[in-house]
A and B are shown apart, each in its own frame.
Chain A
Amino acid sequence: MTAPQVEIQLIAAIVAAACALPGAFLVLRRMTLISDAISHAMLLGIVVGFFLTQDLNSPLLILGATLTGLLTALLVELLHRTGLVREDAAIGLVFPALFSIGVILISRYAGSVHLDTDVVLLGELAFAPFDRVVIAGWNIGPKGLYAGGVILLINAALITLFYKELKLATFDPGLAAALGFSPVAIHYGLMGITSLTAVGAFDSVGAILTVALFIAPAAAAYLLTDDLARMLFLSVGLGVAAALSGYWLAYLLDASIAGSMATMAGVIFGLAWCFAPERGLVAAARRRVRQRWEFAQRMLAIHLLHHERQPGGEPELQMEHLWQELRWDRKFATRVVSLAEGRGLVTQQNGRLELTDRGRLLAQESLLA
């Protein structure tokens, strides 16, 4: 690997980690679509900031763009509060309008200067290593690395500091409010972090794809654990994995790095969806199959218990009888009996079934339950 390659991967990983932290809370608090709106609307802030400062890395621009993000959240809420439109429609009305103004400004006035729609929207990580920080003649690394690092640190610090408050406000907003944690402050605090992260991420991954890095790793982690702290670490880990694998996918296809990162984030979510140990599709399917056999064995035990002391119940205890009485086909019945035998629930002699003590206990338990 060449030095720029290492640097690109480092930047990608740091940006992904920075996005994953607030992302976990966005997913849990059902606010992901506001983050989508923020990262779209951010474009307007960046464009206006760029016209004013002529420098994509100016702190003023970052501040302006972050404020635009907050403004978006505020506008959505104001619109929703009028009672004239619902929240989903409010989101769908606000961000396209702000985003459109941004795009029009870019294409009308920024044609000659260095700011083009694609860069802001789609990002270009491949150029990140060329933009260096030079202090007193010393070249100390790419700017993107420092920008991403600072934002990652801010996010990690704020979340550690307010972990308890965020946790409570996320899982029991009522109690949190009663204890005096202002829901409004927490809401807008989170929106602020989200905006700041989106601003920091836009020039490496672009405004739209930050959404993928906010949501996909966190949603995947949400399927893997029930513990908030673990979910945060997992989100970061999965985000970094998406960033690194995305880089190599882009390298292989010679395609957009940001797009590949989003794609891999989606693939990782897909894997979690299918193979999560408890909540995955495969686990659920296996659980259903297991339950089916378990249920059949209980049925068998109950059937035998019912007939074992009954006068004239003898024919009911025959293997042959099962497919008439319980409407099982021959193969299924044989399999259930052999499973039950294996567990020591029944014994079989010349096609006659008899419950063991354990089987009797299971049947009685099942009837009581």
Chain B
Amino acid sequence: MALPDLALDYTLRTVALGAMLLGLSSGVVGTYAVLRRESLLGDAISHAALPGIALAFLLTRSKESALLLAGAVAAGWFGALLVSAITRTTRVKLDSALGLILSVFFGFGLVLLTFIQKQPDASQAGLDRFLFGQAASLLRRDVQVMAIGTLAVLLAVLLLWKEFKLLVFDPDFARVLGLRVRLLEVILISMIVLAIVVGLQTVGVVLMSAMVVAPAAAARQWTDRLSLMVLLSALFGVMAGMSGAVLSSLTPRLPTGPTIVLVVSGLVLISLLLAPNRGLVWNWARSRARRGQVRAEGMLRQLAALAEHHGSLEHGHPSAVLRASGWSPEQVEHVLHDLESTGYVRQVGADRWAITAAGMARVRTAAEANKAGDVSAYLTGSGGEVTGEGQP
């Protein structure tokens, strides 16, 4: 299928739209869940939604997605309510309460699903698609329902922007200001429930929680601003939802939920590695550069001490002499060549190294800054003292 055809294909358009809505709502809501350390509440809620779907079907005998999703909302809500009731009234901790609710509700959902399958009149209710999601089964009506859910979520975030911000970063202060924190928390949980239910048909109950956690965790790496994080998280969610859903509806036997989750996991991995400031690669490069600088300073000080000892800048020293404790010959060579290129050190013969006048000046200013209490110079200087032990 050529690309222009893709844009026109009705099913694909529906699928892509649905997946975008899913990514948008869960990305936005996920930001708050992740920042409030409630990442796994989504897991409990999405598993808890399963019996709601089955019960809605059993009661109404209708496959109308609005009805089924209403059941999912009710059950997800009830699950979240039970989690908070358990942690408030017993000594069972949050983790156990979450695990308990998710597994028991899921189990009950399975009982209902298998029960429905064996009913004579409802041969195939098609409820299986809620387990791992089936983007291809999305209808325009489903997408309309999803759009309403997403809209509600976005509206709540816009209207309660300041309140939620306070709730996330300083709930105690919010209480002091007279905000109704409990009510806000309930609204936030309702938003999580809504966002999850929006994605259920596409991603399925088992993996929906990843859509709440992953885009937000990825977005967190790129920025420290809430507004930017919400936008980025929504963007990542939309990207993952769309590419995953389209991939899976174009490829036979590629379940939608897992595909979307893998795409979003890839985004998280990239963010963890490459995000400026926080990313692991940057971190690694930074600490490597710092280590190199410390080594260079140490080497320079060592050469300066030797030059003073000999009373001349002409006397060269073999690199073996300059090898401080714990440095490999390659590291010494590397540092010396680095210093040579900056003009602080020169080579005066085969494997003979001496400090230049510029190098001496650099050591002196560093020492003076050290005496004057310049903290950064002092810190880099302290590394040199360790290497100084290797002096002959």
Contacts and interface: CB of A to CB of B under 8 A. Distances in A.
Given A27-B96, A100-B207, A266-B100, A93 B109 contact: no
Given A82-B272, A89-B213, A253-B115, A33 B98 contact: yes
Contacts of A265: 104, 107
A103 B258 contact: yes
A324 B43 CA distance: 55
A219 interface: yes
B103 A100 contact: no
Contacts, number: 197
Nearest to A276: B90
A114 interface: no
B149 interface: no
Interface stretch (B183-191, B230-238, B260-268, B358-366): B260-268
Given A99-B206, A250-B111, A89 B106 contact: no
A212 B104 contact: yes
Interface stretch (B32-40, B63-71, B324-332): B32-40
B213 A259 contact: no
Nearest to A97: B265
A28 to B, nearest CB: 9
B107 A100 contact: no
A260 B107 contact: yes
B40 A91 contact: yes
B196 to A, nearest CB: 13
A281 interface: yes
B100 A215 contact: yes
B200 interface: no
A269 B52 CA distance: 20
Contact of A215 (B37, B103, B258): B103
Given A33-B95, A93-B214, A101 B258 contact: yes
Given A111-B253, A254-B118, A96 B111 contact: no
Interface SS of A by simple majority: helix
B90 A279 contact: yes
A208 B206 contact: yes
A108 B111 contact: no
B34 A100 contact: no
Interface residues on B, range: 35 or more
Interface in B72-121: 86, 89-93, 95-100, 102-115, 118
Interface in A12-55: 27, 30-33, 35-36, 40
A255 B118 contact: yes
Nearest to B251: A108
Contact of B104 (A89, A100, A263): A263
Interface string A65-96: 00000000000000100101110110111001
Contacts of B95: 30-33
Given A250-B111, A259-B107, A219 B92 contact: yes
Enumerate the 6 nearest inter-chain pairs by beta-carbon distance, A residue then B residue, closest first. A262-B107, A266-B104, A259-B110, A96-B210, A100-B258, A212-B103
Interface of A: 27, 30-33, 35-36, 40, 79, 82, 84-86, 88-89, 91-93, 96-97, 99-101, 103-104, 107-108, 111, 117, 121-122, 208-209, 211-212, 214-216, 218-219, 222-223, 249-250, 253-256, 258-263, 265-266, 269, 273, 279, 281, 284
9 contacts: A30-B93, A40-B206, A92-B212, A93-B214, A97-B210, A100-B262, A104-B262, A259-B114, A260-B107
